[in-house]
Amino acid sequence: MKKTVLCLAALCAATAATAQSSVTMFGVVDATLAYGTADGPGSASRLRLANSGYHQTRLGFRGVEDLGGGMSASFWLEMGLNNDDGTGIGTNVNNQASGGSVAPAGTQGLTFGRRSTVSLAGSWGELRVGRDYSPQIWNLLIFDPLGALGVGMAQPFSAGAATLGPTFARASNSFGYFLPANLGGFYGQAQYYLGENVRNGAATEDDGNGAGVRLGYANGPFDVAVAASRTRLAAGDVHQNNIAAKWQLGSARLLAEVSRDRNGAVRGHGFILGGLYNVGSGDIRAAYSRYGTDAAGSPRADKLALGYVHHLSKRTAVYTTVARLKNHGGSAQTLNAAVAGGPNGSSTGLDLGFRQTF
């Protein structure tokens, strides 16, 4: 009888623990037929099967445990995938230009490079450690009508990702704090991250160290946020600053963002203006964006993008996006990997895609 009671007690305890904990597998698979062409002598077009034209392809696992007293513990492991060829998307282990001893992207296998964190949360907010999104990237992800993906991604994201270093979107070895959700519409994130160098007095001992902060306010249809970050790199510090706003007007959503960055001695500047309009089971997306620097010639690129997403169900969508880019000041950017014939030309790109979530 005693053994039976003990077994029943253990079963009840296990059942209670299960009820208070959960683990979820989730993911996105997004396939894109991408075409790009550039103007001018010597230019060349390209047609390819790409991915992530609407949402980034990914596979992840997340779990949460109720600790009682309003506190919880959680984890989040998320990897990026190239579903057109089956390769994984790489990570950076030390926030430095070299990326440490990590092999190039596409040869690392599957890495939880999108996010790999463990958290403790309560009424006081959330503490989060591991590899996570940098605070300043959210204003480009959330306030870009094209979602900072595909041929229509805003120029501050497209150009900034190539010039603003390894912590442009995410940082490894990070310690983050998030404000609680009950502050009358105010929200925020602060983050500090390490390059994990030996402290020996060398000039590069801070390489890969950095910090960022984001503060915002949302009230009904209005949302505004400002963010800033600084990453110490051997070649010169990188500063990223932006402010963004959103206004919901019935079925229409208006979005705007302004970026001011610095990489060493070179300063960058850009903006996004656009919106989304809901039409039944679909969304029309449009944006005009620009990004340039004060390097010799003041190179910059302007982009106009228009897209449509049709939702076949909660998990399945088809989409198309067309974009036109114009270079100035010696810039030679192209869309969808087209080959530029020279600087100051134009480029056109088209995405046709299919996305499913689970």
pTM > 0.75: yes
> Per the domain annotation, does 186 fall within a domain?
yes
Mean pLDDT for each 10-residue chunk of the chain (358 residues)? 44 47 96 96 94 98 98 98 91 83 64 97 99 97 96 86 84 98 98 95 91 98 98 94 98 98 94 98 98 95 98 98 97 93 95 98
Query: What pLDDT shows up at residue 319?
Result: 99
> Per the domain annotation, does 153 fall within a domain?
yes
> Per the domain annotation, does 6 fall within a domain?
no
Q: Is 238 within 8 Å of 246 (Cβ atoms)? A: no
Domain coverage including residue 200: 57-314
Query: What pLDDT shows up at residue 8?
Result: 42
Query: What pLDDT shows up at residue 14?
Result: 44
> Per the domain annotation, does 39 fall within a domain?
no
> Per the domain annotation, does 94 fall within a domain?
yes
Report the domain count for the chain: 1
> Per the domain annotation, does 200 fall within a domain?
yes
The Cα 50–Cα 252 span in angstroms is: 30
Look at residue 296 and give its three-state secondary structure.
coil
Query: What pLDDT shows up at residue 9?
Result: 45
Residue among 51, 115, 31 at smallest CA distance from 77: 115
The Cα 51–Cα 295 span in angstroms is: 32
> Per the domain annotation, does 271 fall within a domain?
yes
Query: What pLDDT shows up at residue 158?
Result: 80
> Per the domain annotation, does 333 fall within a domain?
no
CATH number of the domain that residue 119 is part of: 2.40.160.10
In terms of residues, how long is the chain? 358
Query: What pLDDT shows up at residue 295?
Result: 92
